[in-house]
Amino acid sequence: MFKLIRYSKMKNNITKYLLLACSAMVLFSACRKDSFEGDSAAGKGKDFVRITEGKVRSQFFSPFTTINEINMFSVRKDAASDGALNKANTFVLTDLGQAYITKYNTEHGTDYELLPTNMYTQKTDASIVKAGNTLTFNFAAGDFAKNYILNVDGSKFDPSKKYVIAYVLSNTGGLTAKAGKDTIISAIALKNKYDGVYSVDGSMQDFTNSTLGHINEFLSSASNTTGVSAPMEYELRTISATKCELYDNYFFGGNYIPIRSGTSYSQYGSFALVVEFDPATDKVVAVTNYYGQPAGNTRSAQLDPSGTNAYDAGAKTVKIKYRMLQPSVVVAPPNIRTVWDETWTYIGER
């Protein structure tokens, strides 16, 4: 019925380990070492080139009216040896153009638009040359990564749109293109007004299992030894001008809705929210299941119309009542298994 997974440690408990790990990655990631016997790995393995963020990168920003630098993507050389690293290379990327974006939108249900040329200029970098519809990246000996940065004019941003640039690695300079990392759609958009971190207060009832309850019941209990205290926190992460995904960056770390299970904790597998607002009224007009409506386990999300279901701009709160339907467990319509009645209170930007 539900899946128990190990919770993620909080950021303040792991920061020192992340810093150590990142330092080690910087020191040793420039040159990829294959396992070997003897004194050198020279000549072993392939040298790869890749677009690090391929195939799709989405970035959301708080509204701005200045001209800001935005790192759209990076090209990286993965050398199998010191000799390969210390060799100069030239890589060429070709603009995929409007036809590619139109086809991608049709196939994936997205609404990307090409970034208008009057909204940006390329940051000056002598090693990255734009000519027509191509970008040439000139890697000197020892170079292993270069960022493609645009100066974007925020005053020209339409907050209802997702702007993109799209490129394909068309000349690998004699290296091997990394599988799945030879194209990039890099999207930029503005965060909607609901985006942010929220504390959670409320209740939950599972009509099929009385041992399950709201996560705050566990977080505030004596049996909680996780180091994470009540209240629960969620992030609303912008998907579009009207939609946000509900993201747990506090307890499990991911698209989950944690719950109490007896004296411990758990979560409903393949169930998390996408919340849709009406910006004109700030009403919550719909919720759907992030994993599919329904997901493979028949779980879907639904608003409970008896709730307030609205964002209060003055109080910066979302009052919401929502349901999880699961006809594989609750066979009789309307198949309601669980109901949450919550208030999300804005804490700050994510």
pLDDT in tens, 84-108: 999 999 999 999 999 999 999 999 9
207 and 69 in one domain? no
Task: Give the contacts of 114 (CB within 8 A, at least 6 positions apart).
Answer: 97, 98, 101, 163, 164, 165, 166
- State the CATH number of the domain containing residue 343: 2.40.128
pLDDT for 25: 40
CA distance 210 to 314: 36
Task: Provide the domain count of the chain.
Answer: 2
pLDDT in tens, 148-158: 999 999 999 99
274 and 172 in one domain? no
pLDDT for 159: 87
pLDDT for 36: 29
What residue has token string 């579009």?
A: 240
Tell whether the model's pLDDT for residue 26 goes beyond 90: no
The reply to whether 114 falls in a domain is yes
**Percent of residues, the chain, with pLDDT higher than 70:** 87
The reply to whether 8 falls in a domain is no
CA distance 163 to 187: 5
C-alpha closest to that of 93 among 48, 134, 49: 134
Model's pTM, two decimal places? 0.75
Q: End of a domain among 190, 225, 248?
A: 190
Q: For residue 186, give its domain range.
A: 46-190
- Please provide the DSSP assignment of 16-75 as one string: HHHHHHHHHHHHHSSBPPPP-SSS--TT-S--EEEETT-SEEEEEE----SEEEEEEEEE
224 and 344 in one domain? yes
pLDDT for 3: 36
**How many CA atoms does the CB half-sphere of 164 hold within 13 Å?**
26
Residue 44 pLDDT class (50, 70, 90 cuts): low
The reply to whether 33 falls in a domain is no
324 and 211 in one domain? yes
**Percent of residues, the chain, with pLDDT higher than 90:** 85
Tell whether the model's pLDDT for residue 120 goes beyond 60: yes
251 and 162 in one domain? no
